Amino acid sequence: MRIAVFTNNYLPNPYGVSGSVESFRTEFESMGHEVFVFAPKWKGYTDENARVFRYPSVDIEVKIKFPLAIPYSRKISEVLEKLDLDIIHSQHPNLLGSAAKHWAKKKNIPLIFTWHTLYDQYAHFVPFIPKRLAAWWTVRNAKNYANRCYAVITPTPSVIEIIRDWGVTNKKIYAVPTGVAEKQFANPDRKSIREKYSLRDDEILVVDAGVKISNLREAGVERYEIRLATNFTARRKYLPKHHKGRKPKYGALVRPLPRKHKDKILQATTPDETYTWVEDERELRAEIWRNLVLNKTVPNENNKTFDVYAIYDPDFDQPWLLATPVTLQPESVRAIYKDRWPVEQIPLSAKQMVGAHRQFVHNSESIQRLPELALLAGSILSFLATTQPAAPTGFWDRKPKRTPGRLRRTLIGKPFPKDAILHRRLREKHSVTTHLPKGILAHRQKTTTSTSFAVP
């Protein structure tokens, strides 16, 4: 089969769509299919795959930084004319998605569309357009696009229900999760992994809700503490008592927190232990479930178990749901996860305050230098922010705190230092629009004068 994939995001872009496209491409080609990728041109990047074709693009630096494809190219049109394609797979409803729809219609072949994400959650990235209007338009556009396709693919079954509610009437919707290269996780060596990440035997790896317990086990991590999703469920490590009917295959379901499903409240499971303590004149409560296993685990005496803690703090609206295979006191569980925050401050400052998350490099040496320089800049910014007087963001900031964000906004309004002796490679970035006013000052305000006309 000869497959053409049209995508607005592709290598070297590190986003999820790029990984999904590359994952499916390699798997299809290993099965003997031919895959041709059509993506926007990325300045300074050269493709090693001869079956990747680049549309012309424009670089934008408003809210996001990646090239936007121009969905027309005479050169690529000539390539597509010659290709004897069997199917076209579109990853987006706009830009190159419109090109995919055009060529599917012209060649009279099926058009498949992957609905990768909930577009309304990314409306704030659309520049110059109000968020609610952008969300309404993107969902409407994607819905109409999906209804015109031969079939629609979603990464999870839950997305199917959502897009159905949005008005997608296409009867051919299938949930196909993005695959993972198993070779990357084959034969994990606990010792080498702990050496790689400089973890001692008495240390615990603390991770957030984006990682799953199964991922940690596959990676060979045995001592960890993980933040769980509020809808997390697990099972007991033993089978429930059997009275009549079909024998149960798994242990009883444990739901640490209540949740709502189809207008019905699903109650939380009664905890095995309840613990309270006082900290900073606040009473905290922990509900604990011991020796749990993952949902699809058949009870066995050799199964690895973990404990789940729901920690209720008056300062937070939602409880913290944490899990660890290490037997700890609730105070220690909370303290370990809380200690993660100051560790995160430096990379957070480097990414969002310095802007390192918008920079892309390809040279192997630059790949190492960029995070190092970003972390160094983030450390300096955080240190200065905590040692300098708090600077308010504006008149509305009545109780300013000493944060890197406020310091960064203060520095933006300051001129580039002229008296400091800097290295020749550290220089002011010149721009043709530097002299123009910024922000509200850049708004054009025209005044009109009324003219009276005499009626003869």
CA distance 370 to 351: 11
Domain end, chosen from 291, 307, 337, is at 337
Q: Which residue has the higher pLDDT, 66 or 267?
A: 267
DSSP 352: I
Residue 70 belongs to some domain of the structure: yes
129 and 195 in a common domain: no
Residue 443 belongs to some domain of the structure: no
Asked whether residue 75 falls in the same domain as residue 171, the answer is yes
Domain membership of residue 434 (yes or no) is no
Last residue of a domain, one of 109, 141, 175: 175
Pair type for strands 2-6 and 67-69: unpaired
Q: Which of 122, 148, 175 is the last residue of a domain?
A: 175
Same domain, 246 and 377: no
299 and 371 housed in the same domain: no
Between the ranges 60-74, 120-134, 259-273, where is the mean pLDDT highest? 259-273
Determine the distance from the C-alpha atom of residue 381 to the mean position of all C-alpha atoms in its chain, rounded to a whole number: 25
Q: Which domain holds residue 108?
A: 2-175
Are 170 and 33 in a shared domain? Answer: yes
Query: Comparing C-alpha atoms, which of 227, 62, 75, 78 is closest to residue 128?
Result: 62
The model carries a pTM of 0.51
Asked if 308 and 331 sit in the same domain, the reply is: yes
Could you give the CA distance from residue 365 to residue 117 in angstroms, rounded to a whole number?
33
* Cα 371 from Cα 383, distance rounded (Å): 18
- pLDDT winner (highest mean) among 306-310, 335-339, 388-392: 306-310
Q: Which of 283, 295, 281 is nearest to 330 (CA)?
A: 283
Higher-pLDDT residue of 300 and 129 is: 300
Reply yes or no on whether the pLDDT at 385 is more than 60: yes
Mean residue pLDDT across the chain: 84
Higher-confidence position of 336 and 368: 336
pLDDT in tens, 127-138: 667 878 888 888
Percent of the chain with pLDDT over 90: 38
pLDDT at 317 over 90: no
**In terms of pLDDT, which residue wins out, 245 or 164?**
164
What is the reported pLDDT for 399? 87
Same domain, 159 and 29: yes
- pLDDT score for 126: 67
Q: Is the model more confident about 345 or about 450?
A: 345
**What value does the mean pLDDT take over residues 37-44?**
91
Same structural domain, 91 and 136:
yes
Please give the Cα distance from 390 to 405 (Å, whole number). 11
Q: Is pLDDT above 90 for 259? A: no
Residue 432 within a domain: no
pLDDT of res. 453: 47
> Could you tell me if residue 422 is inside a domain?
no
Question: What does the pLDDT read at residue 346?
Answer: 80
State whether 149 and 71 are in the same domain: yes
Are residues 70 and 207 both part of a single domain? no
The per-residue pLDDT for range 266-291, each reduced to its tens digit, is 899 999 999 999 988 889 999 999 99
Most confident range, picked from 214-218, 283-287, 300-304:
283-287
Q: Which pLDDT score, from 0 to 100, does residue 359 have?
A: 66
Q: Say if residue 18's pLDDT is above 90.
A: no
Residue 446 maps to a domain: no
Tally the domains of the chain.
Answer: 3
Q: Are residues 170 and 31 in the same domain?
A: yes
Please check whether residues 31 and 95 belong to one and the same domain.
Answer: yes
Q: What CATH number is given to the structural domain containing 99?
A: 3.40.50.2000
259 burial (CB, 10 Å; 0-12 / 13-18 / 19+) is middle
Residue 277 lies in a domain: yes
Average pLDDT over residues 13-26: 85
Which token pair is 332? 């220690």
- The model's pLDDT over 85-119, given as tens digits with 9 standing for 90+, comes to 999 999 999 999 999 999 999 999 999 999 998 88
pLDDT at 341 over 80: no
Per the domain annotation, does 408 fall within a domain?
yes
Q: Is the pLDDT higher at 383 or at 355?
A: 383
Structure tokens at 201: 């035997």
